[in-house]
């Protein structure tokens, strides 16, 4: 697939969480968006073909959305285990 750079983003939102999530979900590199009720309002898994592409997605696109108050970024250096448990084709 060529997606070499992956990060988990924990996002604090001020304002309409659904509006922010909809904007984030529209970006090409975003594969997973979860709404939460803890410290972080939204959890995002973002993919890019390069570190500079991931930087641009996070800092030039997502960070610029009105309502994004703060982003904590966890860069994936290596995926140890990944076991998808959801049936394919049932997501939003």
Each residue's pLDDT tens digit, 6-42:
999 999 999 999 999 999 999 999 999 999 999 999 9
pLDDT band at residue 74, thresholds of 50, 70 and 90?
very high
Could you give the CA distance from residue 78 to residue 12 in angstroms, rounded to a whole number?
25
C-alpha Rg value of the chain to the nearest Å: 13
Calculate the CA 61 to chain-centre distance: 11
Residue 51 region by backbone torsions, left for phi larger than 0, else alpha for psi between -120 and 50, else beta: alpha
Report pTM: 0.84
Summarize the confidence of residues 30-59 as an average pLDDT.
96
Could you give the CA distance from residue 43 to residue 88 in angstroms, rounded to a whole number?
21
């Amino acid at each position: 697939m060529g997606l070499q750079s992956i990060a988990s983003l924990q996002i604090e939102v001020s304002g309409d969480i659904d509006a922010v999530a909809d904007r984030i979900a529209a970006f090409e590199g975003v594969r997973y968006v979860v709404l939460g009720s803890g410290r972080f309002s939204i959890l995002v898994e973002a993919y890019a073909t390069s570190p500079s592409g991931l930087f641009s997605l996070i800092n030039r696109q997502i960070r610029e959305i009105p309502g994004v108050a703060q982003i904590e970024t966890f860069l994936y250096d290596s995926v140890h285990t990944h076991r998808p448990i959801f049936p394919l084709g049932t997501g939003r």
